[in-house]
Structure formats: structure tokens, C-alpha cells
């Protein structure tokens, strides 16, 4: 890749939007931010819908190319803009496959099937829209803890990062889920604590989370997310 990329990232304020912000800082990429928030109506405008018919954040524009889905954006940035000094993705074929396995595991088992289900059905989150269901919330929390055993096993081998000594974008996805779980009061496994502390000290994490803060508090104006 030659020249300075023309990157614009849409979306702030959620556990999904923080992922690409953080990846930008890990990769040392300059980018513009369109700080639109969820449930504000800003994802439903004509301009935004033309870019992202799914009307969700985050969304990345790289020149005339658009890509949505936080994990896909992070994977795209990792494969397009990693350099020998700053690489967020393994290159050896089997390491790449293992990285992919972690990424899918995190976004399906930890995010969509567990934490997002909790968010969807909690009285103090999206429950008023999708249905308040305390039993579902409790079961989803239990499921999260159960799935976390796989992470626990991986980190127990004295690994600095999920895949060993090398920080990859799978760590970005995992950390956002662990932060999210803590915010929801779901306990995380003991070995994840020092892991999280290590990651929280990364400058790119701190800058990415700062960049993800909305300019003004998000005021929901519509029903669906
Ligand atoms: N799987 C998607 C989920 C994106 C998503 O659901 N975004 C929500 C906020 S977390 C959204 O933009 N909802 C539309 C809206 O609220 O206007 C991803 O990881 O990017």
C-alpha cells in the first residue's frame, strides 16, 4: 500500500465502534471521524443510508470502498495496513486460520449469543424495546461464563496475548467483550484480569477508547438498534 490512505470512520459510543478506533491507533493510521451515535437517528439519514444500507455503526470508508461490521472492519484494516513493525494479523496460513477461529468465536459466542442477548433483554438496556426477560439475561450471562473457559484455557499457558507473544486484532475483539462483561456485572475469569490490565496500558487502547467517546451524550430517539 503506497500513499496516505483516505480513511473515514463513522460511529462512536459503543463496544462495537471502539474496535476500529482502537485498530487505527494500533496501526498508526490517520483517519477522520464522523461521530454519529446509535439510536440518535443519525444512522437513518439519506447520506448515511447510501453508504450503509444496514443503517448501523461502525462503518469504514477507505477511499471509495465502504465496509461495515466491526469485526470485518478490524480484519480489513489488519490485513490491508499491517506492516512488519505493526502487524495485527498472523501471516502463516495456520496461524491465520487460528486467528480467524478466535475472531469468529468472539463475535458469535461471546458477543452476539451472550452479551448482546443480555443487552437486548435487560430492563435497563434494550429490554423496553425487545422485551424484558430476566431469565434470558441470567442464562446468557451463564453462557458467557461457560464460553469464557476457552479463553481461560488459552491465557493460562502464560500467554501475554490470546495468540501468544504477538498482539493481534483478536485481542481487540476479546478486550471489548471483557470490558463489556464487566460493565454488565458478569464476572470474568481470574487469568483475564492481568491480561486486561496489560491491554489497558496500551497507548492505542487508551487513544482508541478516547476517540470513541461521543461529543455529546447519546440521546435515543428511535426504537430499533
Ligand atoms: N454486528 C454489528 C453490530 C452493529 C450494531 O448493532 N450497531 C448498533 C449500535 S451497537 C447500531 O448502529 N444500531 C443502529 C442505530 O441504533 O441507529 C457490528 O459488530 O458492527
* Residue with CA closest to ligand 1 atom 2: 69
CA distance 142 to 109: 12
Distance of CA 174 to the CA centre of its chain: 8
Looking at the structure, tell me whether residues 98 and 128 fall in a common domain.
yes
In a domain, 23, yes or no: yes
Is the minimum distance from the CB of 15 to ligand 1 under 6 angstroms?
no
3-state secondary structure 159-188: CCECCECCCCHHHHHHHHHHHHHHHCCCCC
Residues 198 and 97 in one domain: yes
CATH of the domain at 136: 1.20.1050.10
Q: What's the CATH code of the domain at 15?
A: 3.40.30.10
Are residues 110 and 23 part of one domain? no
122 lines ligand 1 (CB under 6 A): no
Task: Give residue 20 CA to ligand 1 midpoint distance, Å.
Answer: 13
Residues of the chain where predicted confidence (pLDDT) is lower than 50: 222-225
73 and 97 both lie in a single domain: no
Atom of ligand 1 nearest to the CA of 73: 20
Residue 17, ligand 1, Cβ within 6 A: no
In this structure, the chain runs to a length of 225
Say whether 56 sits in a helix, a strand or coil: coil
**Domain around 159:** 93-202
In a domain, 214, yes or no: no
Sheet of strand 59-62: strand arrangement = 32-34, 7-10, 59-62, 65-68
| 209 found inside a domain | no
Specify the number of domains making up the chain.
2
User: Are 56 and 137 found together in one domain?
Assistant: no
- 184 in the same domain as 147: yes
Give the end of a domain, one of 52, 86, 120: 86
Domain match, 153 and 76 both: no
Distance 117 CA to ligand 1 centre (A): 13
Determine, yes or no, domain membership for 207.
Answer: no
For residues 65 and 99, state if they share a domain. Answer: no
pLDDT value at residue 70: 98
Specify the DSSP class assigned to residue 190: T
CA distances 160 to 117, 155, 164, 165, Å, are 30, 7, 6, 5
Q: Report CA(62)–ligand 1 centroid distance (Å).
A: 19
Claim: this prediction has a pTM higher than 0.85:
yes
Dump pLDDT digits (tens) for 23-34: 999 999 999 999
Q: What is the pLDDT of residue 36?
A: 96
Does any ligand 1 atom lie closer than 6 A to the CB of residue 16?
A: yes
Ligand 1 centroid distance, CA of 59 (Å): 10
Q: Cα–Cα distance between 114 and 177 in angstroms, integer?
A: 10
Same domain, 136 and 174: yes
In this prediction, residue 1 carries a pLDDT of 58
Q: In Å, what is the CA distance from 100 to each residue of 49, 59, 125, 170?
A: 29, 21, 30, 8
Domain contains 62: yes
Same domain, 192 and 110: yes
Amino acid at each position: 500500500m503506497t500513499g496516505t490512505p483516505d480513511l473515514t470512520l463513522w460511529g462512536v459510543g459503543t463496544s462495537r465502534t471502539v474496535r476500529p478506533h482502537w485498530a487505527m491507533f494500533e496501526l498508526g493510521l490517520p483517519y477522520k471521524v464522523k461521530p454519529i451515535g446509535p439510536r440518535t437517528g443519525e444512522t437513518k439519514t439519506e447520506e448515511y443510508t447510501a453508504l450503509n444500507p444496514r443503517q448501523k455503526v461502525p462503518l469504514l470508508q477507505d477511499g471509495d470502498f465502504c465496509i461495515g461490521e466491526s469485526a470485518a472492519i478490524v480484519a480489513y484494516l489488519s490485513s490491508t495496513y499491517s506492516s512488519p513493525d505493526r502487524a495485527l494479523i498472523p501471516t502463516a496460513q495456520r496461524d491465520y486460520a487460528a486467528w480467524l477461529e478466535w475472531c469468529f468465536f468472539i463475535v458469535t459466542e461471546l458477543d452476539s449469543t451472550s452479551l448482546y442477548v443480555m443487552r437486548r433483554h435487560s430492563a435497563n438496556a434494550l429490554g423496553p424495546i425487545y422485551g424484558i426477560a430476566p431469565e434470558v439475561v441470567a442464562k446468557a450471562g451463564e453462557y458467557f461464563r461457560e464460553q469464557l473457559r476457552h479463553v481461560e484455557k488459552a491465557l493460562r499457558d502464560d500467554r501475554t496475548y490470546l495468540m501468544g507473544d504477538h498482539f493481534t486484532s483478536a485481542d481487540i475483539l476479546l478486550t471489548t467483550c471483557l470490558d463489556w462483561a464487566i460493565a454488565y456485572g458478569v464476572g470474568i475469569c481470574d487469568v483475564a484480569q492481568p491480561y486486561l490490565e496489560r491491554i489497558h496500558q496500551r497507548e492505542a487502547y487508551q487513544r482508541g477508547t478516547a476517540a470513541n467517546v461521543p461529543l455529546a451524550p447519546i440521546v435515543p430517539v428511535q426504537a430499533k438498534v
